[in-house]
Amino acid sequence: MSEIDTAKIFNGQGLPKETYVPQEHGRFEKELIEGLHAAGTLCLLTGSSKTGKTTLYNTVLGSAKLVPLRVGCAGNMTADEFWKKPLEILDFSRLTSRQSAESSQTQTEGKISGELNWVWLAKLIGETKLGTARSDSESDIREKVLASPSCHHLIPLLKHSNTILVIDNFHYLSKETQIIVFQQLKDVCEAEISVIVISTTHRGADLAHANPDLPGRIRHIELRRWSDADLTKIAEKGFSKLKVKFDSTVFDAIARECAGLPIVMQQTCAQLFADRGMQLVRPGSEVEFSAQDGWSALHKVAVSRYREFESWYKRLTRGPKKDLKRDETYSLILSAFAKNPQKFDLTRDEICERLDGSRIGSKSQTEKLIEKTLDGLKEFQQSYGIELLEWSAQDDSVYVIEPSFLFYVRWRNAAGRQPDPVEDTISKLRSSRR
Indicate whether 191 belongs to any domain: yes
Q: What is the pLDDT of residue 102?
A: 42
Indicate whether 392 belongs to any domain: yes
> What predicted TM-score, i.e. pTM, was given to this entire model?
0.79
pLDDT at 202 over 60: no
The number of folded domains in the chain is 3
Residues 6+ apart with CB under 8 A from 362: none
Question: pLDDT tier at 207 (50, 70, 90 boundaries)?
Answer: low
Domain boundary residue, one of 273, 305, 337: 305
Q: Are residues 209 and 181 in the same domain?
A: yes
| Overall average pLDDT of the 266-286 stretch | 95
Q: Are residues 265 and 313 in the same domain?
A: no
Q: Are residues 321 and 373 in the same domain?
A: yes
Indicate whether 27 belongs to any domain: no
Q: What is the pLDDT of residue 129?
A: 67
Q: Are residues 154 and 105 in the same domain?
A: yes
Q: Are residues 286 and 369 in the same domain?
A: no
Q: Are residues 342 and 217 in the same domain?
A: no
Q: Are residues 279 and 173 in the same domain?
A: no
Indicate whether 25 belongs to any domain: no
Q: What is the pLDDT of residue 338?
A: 74
Looking at per-residue confidence, does 19 or 371 come out higher?
19
Q: Are residues 199 and 118 in the same domain?
A: yes
| Overall average pLDDT of the 165-177 stretch | 89
Q: Are residues 136 and 256 in the same domain?
A: no
pLDDT at 170 over 70: yes
Indicate whether 299 belongs to any domain: yes
Indicate whether 21 belongs to any domain: no
Q: Are residues 136 and 280 in the same domain?
A: no
Indicate whether 30 belongs to any domain: no
Least confident of 7-21, 104-118, 162-176: 104-118
Q: Are residues 294 and 323 in the same domain?
A: no
Indicate whether 32 belongs to any domain: no
Looking at per-residue confidence, does 250 or 325 come out higher?
250
Domain boundary residue, one of 305, 323, 356: 305
Which residues form the domain of 256?
A: 4-11+226-305
Domain boundary residue, one of 204, 222, 240: 222
**Which CATH number goes with the domain that contains 194?**
3.40.50
Arithmetic mean of pLDDT over the chain: 83
Q: Are residues 316 and 276 in the same domain?
A: no
- Give the tens place of pLDDT for each residue, 326-371: 556 777 788 788 777 777 789 988 988 887 765 555 667 667 778 8
